[in-house]
Amino acid sequence: MRMPPFRFERPAELRQALDLLRELDGAGNGYVLSAGGTDLVPMMKSQPVSVGSLISLTKLKALGGIRLDPGKSLSLGALVTLGDLSSDAAVRETFPCIAETAGKIATPQIRNRATVGGNLLVDNRCIYFNQSEQNRLAHTPCFKAGGETCHLVPKTARGDDPLCRARFVSDLAPVLLLLHATIRIASTAGERSLPLRDFHLPDGISRNRLGRGEILTRIDVPLPGPSAGVLYEKLRIRNAIDFPSLGVAVSLGRIPGGGTRFGAALTGVHTRPVVMQVDEAARGSREESVDSLIAGISRAVTPFRQGFFPPDYLRKMIPVLIRRNMEKLLRKA
Amino acid sequence: MKEYQVIGKPVPLIASREKATGKAKYTDDIRLNGALHIKILRSPHACADIRAIDASGALKAAGVRAVITGRDFNHTFGVLPISKDEPALARDTVRYVGEPVAAVAADTEAQAGEAARRIRVEYEAHDPCLDPRAALLDTDRPIHPELGRGNNLHKSARQEFGDPARGFGEAAAVVEGTFDFQPLTHGFTEPHATQVEIDAQGSITVYSSTQVPHYLHRALAEVLEIPMHRIRVIKPHLGGGFGGKSDPFPHEMIAAKLALITGRNTRLSLTREEVFSSNHGRHPTTIDMKLGLHPEKGITALSTDVLIDGGSYGSFGVVTTYYNGVLLHGPYPAPNFSFACDRVYTNKPMCGAMRGHGGVNPRFASEVLFDMACAKAGLDPCEARLKFIHEPDTVTANGFRITSVGLKEGLRKAMERSAWKEKFGKLPYGKGIGVACGFFISGSALPIHWNKMPQSTVRLTIDFDGGVTVYSGASDIGQGSDTMLAQNVAEVLGVPMSMIRVIAADTGLCPIDLGSYSSRVTFMAGNAARNAAIRMRRILVSAACKLLEIGEPRYGKPGGPDSFFRQGGRKPDFDDPYLGPNPDYSDGFEARELTFRPSAGPREGAGVPYLDAVRKAMDGHGALQTQGIYVSPKMGGDFKGAGAGLSPGYSFTAFISEVTVDPGTGFVRVDKVTGAHDCGFPLNPLSVEGQLDGSIHMGLGQALMEAIRYDPKLGVVQNASFLEYKMLSPFEQPEIDVGYDANVDNEGPFGAKEVGEGALAPVIPSVANAIHDAVGVRLRSLPMTPDRVLAAIEAGAAVTPRNENGKGGM
Ligand SMILES: Cc1cc2nc3c(=O)[nH]c(=O)nc-3n(C[C@H](O)[C@H](O)[C@H](O)COP(=O)(O)OP(=O)(O)OC[C@H]3O[C@@H](n4cnc5c(N)ncnc54)[C@H](O)[C@@H]3O)c2cc1C
Ligand code: SF4
């Protein structure tokens, strides 16, 4: 597999990079941003058309480093590699769940290059799209490939709804969502910041609110996190390499003024990550709260046959994994 | 037991250093002068007529030297002479997604790819036949109309021995079930590659990643319509085969044709996706099997009805059809036996031989049923197996000659090491232990192309420098056969491994050998190498006698096994060109550390240096050269299909697997595999362990996760990558403790039998049986994925009462 030729740029400063993006956009030239390139490069290899320019972000210092501001926040540069994230002492100390989750992604070789920013921006996946050119020749192009149809949900099932159901697969997103992370995005107009929970979109093509000319710079996680912490369980057939078939994060915390807050977030079973929290009702029981959390979050996702497991099995696993991990947290609390 | 010098010692494979340092040249690493790059245009349809091909755009494209289509070939081919049904390039119809339709040779790879995109093919697409059951129905569009059938049946095999009905009547427990199996790929590391070098006379040298240089050589001559002597096939280092490189392939014909047309060297390498669409992997299979067991008599009857989905072409399919039945004649006798198997064509990439060829799926069915029958009859599954494993020197119902059997002791030890008695039926819910056995051929006794040539010939030369060169047609495909040949020769001649050079798998230099498949190489090429070395030893010993001024040893007919079971009634004869299998070569000399010493007589202990003996032997004679051959003994019955599965030796295996099943998610973890494999005398324990670990790894892949997924309407492979096609990662590989105690086979070289394939099959049912012990459910479909295990537990919970461990009944 050879990829079509492209232009390569590696700006040294964030400002330079943002100017370059604006210039390319102004001239109507295509570009893609690359951090570790572990998601991007396989995609480029299977595409018949050139991406135009590939802008490597790897020199941008502003996007690097793990900064701990005790009692306030942990700030992760978008370029921090998953390898570093999984072994960093400050991360292990403050949010062991982030380190552990990062360590479950892909393989050691990939984690040495893959970045946390790239992980939140990882492309949605679908068995009809993540294929070689040869394979896609057997199908007509789908929405995500610029066509007029969807093979996963054919027209009869979807009506006129043109959404792409390619699934969201980042392992870190559900954990960071339960930790109330915010992200910082830079453009020539300045820097903006938004809660991670507002970032992802329910469409496998547009995926998120990162605009043209924008670069994700940092991810900030407020301290302290939920009192009993966050646990992440990744369901996959092999304990290496594989994307999550289903990823379940749960959290357990205290509500200011008393009571327990149960949280859960899912990845792998919908077009975007889904997060939900339930506060223990004044007179309700723990079980009822967890039940309503499970019911609510299950309603919010639609798994399709997009990978190894059949969707009804994945549906069945959502309550199993939420309950198991919640029990672990409860025992800890 | 005799003390050997290199045999039985852990010897690192002779190419291991080169491979580990990246020096070894695989086919794709070869740099031929100015080679043209080839790109194959493949069909996007599973079933279509080709109306027209317009290659004018491609021919005008930059750098293009030639474009070929199906019209450029007059002959189809196939590894078996009875099903030469595959074209190099599709002519009028395409039969699977990915079938080669046209090919471009251009100066660069990018140019070839670009030009291939400009070829316009006009297809008339039809509904593909993808379901093997539907393939049995009448149709007016059969996939292979040339067979003159109104349906898509390819091959039917039927055999019956004894009286199955009476046998079932005698059984204490009769069990039956339907078992279902998915298509699998071999998963070798190196994708197929071929390069062709053409000389000024138009002779071609084909470098190819193949297990079968000899069959490729024959097929090239036929398809290209050139005499065989203008072809030379060389297999460079090879990155795994497992049966996936044991056929001649279209890309090999294409590369050679384009070299002949352009007069230029050519090269091509398949992508992993192209490997998936070339397939030749394990057949999707459905088996209906019934087994009757008696506590004293063993298997009283076994009947099986099999449907295998062959995909679009024949490949090894006729053999697979038979192997699905005949390999059930072990490891236990089954006197009353009936078997029916149909292989059908469908519009999918063809299936063929894959490690454990044809024996893996039926083994799963029979070993699960054996377990069920034990449960029903109240027998301990290990004890019952121990009791009924074939006795040595017996004949099966279908005429297999069972010679050495070294499994009983091994299984007994494995029971002890795994604490079987303390665990079986006694572990807590979710933990389980299960057993299964198997057996496999050490080479097929009958050649694919009917002839009376020996199955294997090996030539040895020694020249002035004393270095020994072994010429063998056998393909080292990573399994270590070159090392095995060198070990046999080193042992006989008493020279170190470092003085032996193996030149193998080059049809221009090496004597004919049929190739690396059916676990034949150690038994057959090993014997031939050993015989060539014995002949060489005689020359050197004779020279040593001259130097010592003593009389030469008298070689008569050495004593040897003379029963029917040994060598088919032939005795080894040192005056005959064929020394027989594994002949004793004691000649009164000790050859070790480069010295020949008489072990008795007037000059006892006096040493002749090896090099002196070589020089003396060369005086007035020149370079030394000998040849050894292997010929299978005559055996087998006289009925249709009697030749299938006949082998001069059979390996035996038993595995005891321990699993943890998560009843909440259905996930199965295989914690440990304890077992025994009878490979006769282990020539190289390092290789034996490598093969056993690999067989378990591969078997567990089929057990737990592997399956090629086809789009149910279009027939296109949906998971043609190692990310989406799931093979075990190192994390899923269990702890392994498999014994392979030396059990000398009289006919294998130094007593060896096969170890490459047989051990794969039984690990799968051992896991299924362990799952039953853990959570009380019987799984009959592979792979045993978490969703299926969970569904079985949920269904089982509804119907099966639990015993005190919470475990189900049968
Ligand atoms: C075999 C394999 C297995 C994998 N397994 C997993 C898995 O188990 N779990 C998982 O979550 N992921 C997995 N991945 C996906 C991927 O490797 C990771 O998500 C990784 O973190 C992506 O980071 P990257 O820096 O390599 O991203 P890149 O490939 O560089 O970029 C990914 C996307 O993000 C954009 N981007 C990256 N950084 C920025 C930025 N700072 N600002 C704006 N846009 C940016 C890029 O333009 C691109 O669209 C796997 C990938 C492979 C090849
Ligand atoms: S879900 Fe998206 S990627 Fe998949 S087929 Fe539909 S449009 Fe294409």
How high is the pLDDT of residue B807?
61
E-only strand ranges, chain A: 7-9, 31-34, 53-56, 66-69, 73-77, 182-187, 190-195, 215-222, 230-235, 246-254, 260-267, 274-279
Question: Do B420 and B303 fall within a single domain?
Answer: yes
Q: Is the pLDDT of residue B635 over 80?
A: yes
CB pairs < 8 Å spanning A and B: 72
Least Cα distance to A6 among A46, A57, A44 occurs for A44
Return the CA Rg of chain A.
20
Among A2, A309, A321, the residue with its CB nearest the CB of B787 is A309
* Letter string b/e over residues B30-69, b meaning 16 or more CB atoms within 10 A of that residue's CB: bebeebbbbbbbbbbbbbbebeebebeebeebebbbbbbb
Q: Is the pLDDT of residue B572 over 70?
A: no
Cα of B271 to nearest chain A Cα, Å: 7
Q: Output the CA B150–ligand 1 centroid distance in Å.
A: 53
For A155, the enclosing helix (H) or strand (E) is helix A155-158
Q: For a pLDDT cut of 70, what percent of chain B falls above it?
A: 96
Among A132, A235, A310, the residue with its CB nearest the CB of B273 is A132
Section B629-651 average pLDDT: 90
How high is the pLDDT of residue A48?
73
Q: How far apart, in whole angstroms, are the C-alpha atoms of residue B322 and residue B361?
A: 13
C-alpha distances in Å from residue A25, one per residue of A31, A35, B299, B489: 8, 19, 76, 71
Asked whether residue B751 is assigned to any structural domain, the reply reads yes
How high is the pLDDT of residue B260?
98
Section A117-125 average pLDDT: 98
How high is the pLDDT of residue A214?
98
Q: Output the CA A201–ligand 1 centroid distance in Å.
A: 17
Q: Is B732 on the interface with A (CB under 8 A)?
A: yes
Question: Do B117 and B202 fall within a single domain?
Answer: yes
Question: Do B534 and B669 fall within a single domain?
Answer: no
Section A228-244 average pLDDT: 96
Task: Find how far residue B393's CA is from the centre of its chain.
Answer: 25
How high is the pLDDT of residue B699?
98
**What tokens were used for A237?**
């057939």
Among A308, A310, A320, the residue with its CB nearest the CB of B726 is A308
Section B646-660 average pLDDT: 97
Please name which ligand lies nearest the alpha carbon of A271: 2
> Which of B595, B630, B665 lies at the terminal end of a domain, its last residue?
B630
How high is the pLDDT of residue B514?
87
Q: Is the pLDDT of residue A332 over 90?
A: no
Q: What is the domain range of residue B38?
A: 32-126+190-239+245-278
Asked whether residue B173 is assigned to any structural domain, the reply reads no
Task: Find how far residue B588's CA is from the centre of its chain.
Answer: 39
How high is the pLDDT of residue B564?
47
Q: What are phi and psi of B167, to 5 degrees?
A: -60, -45
* Letter string b/e over residues A269-286, b meaning 16 or more CB atoms within 10 A of that residue's CB: bbbbbbbbbbebeeeeee
How high is the pLDDT of residue A210?
97
pTM: 0.96
Cα of A268 to nearest chain B Cα, Å: 15
For the domain that residue B227 is a member of, what is the CATH number? 3.90.1170.50
**Which residues is A184 bridged to in the sheet?**
A193, A218
Question: What's the pLDDT band for A284 if we cut at 50, 70, 90?
Answer: confident
Question: What's the pLDDT band for B591 if we cut at 50, 70, 90?
Answer: very high
* Other CB atoms within 10 Å distance of the CB of residue B29: 14
How high is the pLDDT of residue B326?
97
Section B61-78 average pLDDT: 98
How high is the pLDDT of residue B677?
98
What region does A92 belong to: left with phi over 0, alpha with psi -120 to 50, or beta?
alpha
For the domain that residue B654 is a member of, what is the CATH number? 3.30.365.10
How high is the pLDDT of residue B447?
83
Closest chain A residue by Cα to residue B46: A138
Cα of B628 to nearest chain A Cα, Å: 45
Least Cα distance to A126 among A169, A161, A156 occurs for A169
Give me the domains of chain A, ranges plus CATH numbers.
1-58 (3.30.43.10), 65-121+167-332 (3.30.465.10)
Q: Is the pLDDT of residue A18 over 90?
A: yes
Please provide the DSSP assignment of B307-339 as one string.
EEE-TTS-TTHHHHHHHHHHTTS-SS--SSEEE
- Looking at the structure of chain B, the number of domains it has is 3
> Which amino acid residue places its CA nearest to atom 8 of ligand 2?
A142
How high is the pLDDT of residue B270?
97
How high is the pLDDT of residue B810?
55
What region does B539 belong to: left with phi over 0, alpha with psi -120 to 50, or beta?
alpha
Section A268-294 average pLDDT: 90
Asked whether residue B15 is assigned to any structural domain, the reply reads no
Question: Do B322 and B468 fall within a single domain?
Answer: no
Cα of B118 to nearest chain A Cα, Å: 13
Give every CB contact of residue A293 below 8 A, 6+ residues apart in sequence: A262, A263, A264, A276, A277, A278, A322
C-alpha distances in Å from residue B438, one per residue of A105, B284, B405: 38, 20, 12
Section B490-495 average pLDDT: 97
Cβ burial of B620 (10 Å; 0-12, 13-18, 19+) is exposed
SS3 state of residue A295: helix
Please state which of the ranges A127-136, A203-212, B314-323, B745-754 shows the lowest mean pLDDT.
Answer: A127-136
Q: Is A153 on the interface with B (CB under 8 A)?
A: no
SS3 state of residue B74: coil
Q: Is A317 on the interface with B (CB under 8 A)?
A: yes
Please name the amino acid found at residue B25.
K
Please provide the DSSP assignment of B600-632 as one string.
SSTTTT--EEHHHHHHHHHTTT-SEEEEEEE-P
Please give the ipTM for the structure prediction: 0.96
Using the structure block, give the residue that is written with the tokens 């370029």: A79
Question: Do B626 and B718 fall within a single domain?
Answer: no
> Which of B630, B665, B694 lies at the terminal end of a domain, its last residue?
B630
Q: How far apart, in whole angstroms, are the C-alpha atoms of residue B599 and residue B715?
A: 69
Three-point CA angle B649, B652, B655, nearest 5°: 165
Q: Is the pLDDT of residue B646 over 60?
A: yes
Q: Is the pLDDT of residue A160 over 90?
A: no
Q: How many residues does chain B have?
A: 810
How high is the pLDDT of residue B574?
63
Asked whether residue B150 is assigned to any structural domain, the reply reads no
Question: Do B266 and B397 fall within a single domain?
Answer: no
Mutate to test the pocket of ligand 2, among A148, A150, A205, A302 (most ligand atoms within 8 A of CB): A150
Question: Do B711 and B658 fall within a single domain?
Answer: yes
C-beta atoms of B716 and A313 within 8 A: no
Asked whether residue B328 is assigned to any structural domain, the reply reads yes
SS3 state of residue A198: helix
Q: Output the CA A42–ligand 2 centroid distance in Å.
A: 18
Question: Do B451 and B439 fall within a single domain?
Answer: no
Q: What are phi and psi of B638, to 5 degrees?
A: -125, 70
Which atom of ligand 2 lies nearest, measured to the CA of A306? 4
Question: Do B643 and B691 fall within a single domain?
Answer: yes
Q: Output the CA A32–ligand 2 centroid distance in Å.
A: 21
Cβ burial of B452 (10 Å; 0-12, 13-18, 19+) is exposed
How high is the pLDDT of residue A281?
72
* Other CB atoms within 10 Å distance of the CB of residue B615: 14
Section A277-291 average pLDDT: 85
Contact B26, B502 (CB under 8 A): no
Q: Distance from first CA to last CA of chain A, Å, rounded?
A: 52
Question: Do B316 and B299 fall within a single domain?
Answer: yes
E-only strand ranges, A113-242: 182-187, 190-195, 215-222, 230-235
Please state which of the ranges A159-168, A185-194, B82-91, B467-476 shows the lowest mean pLDDT.
Answer: A159-168
Section A301-325 average pLDDT: 96
Asked whether residue B154 is assigned to any structural domain, the reply reads no
Question: Do B222 and B93 fall within a single domain?
Answer: yes
C-beta atoms of B717 and A135 within 8 A: yes
Question: What's the pLDDT band for B569 if we cut at 50, 70, 90?
Answer: very low
Question: Do B480 and B568 fall within a single domain?
Answer: yes
Query: Strand B394-395 and strand B401-402: pairing?
Result: antiparallel
How high is the pLDDT of residue A159?
86
> Which of B584, B600, B630 lies at the terminal end of a domain, its last residue?
B630
Asked whether residue B117 is assigned to any structural domain, the reply reads yes
How high is the pLDDT of residue B806?
52
Asked whether residue B795 is assigned to any structural domain, the reply reads yes
Q: Is A319 on the interface with B (CB under 8 A)?
A: no
Q: Is the pLDDT of residue B804 over 60?
A: no
Q: For a pLDDT cut of 90, what percent of chain B falls above it?
A: 89
Contact B469, B460 (CB under 8 A): yes
Three-point CA angle B363, B367, B371, nearest 5°: 170
pLDDT digits (tens, 9 = 90+) for B213-261: 999 999 999 999 999 999 999 999 999 999 999 999 999 999 999 999 9
Q: Is A155 on the interface with B (CB under 8 A)?
A: no
SS3 state of residue A187: strand
Contact A109, A139 (CB under 8 A): no
Q: How far apart, in whole angstroms, are the C-alpha atoms of residue A95 and residue A209?
A: 26
**What tokens were used for B88?**
């190099």
How high is the pLDDT of residue B633?
82
C-alpha distances in Å from residue B540, one per residue of A260, A327, B49, B499, B615: 89, 78, 65, 16, 9
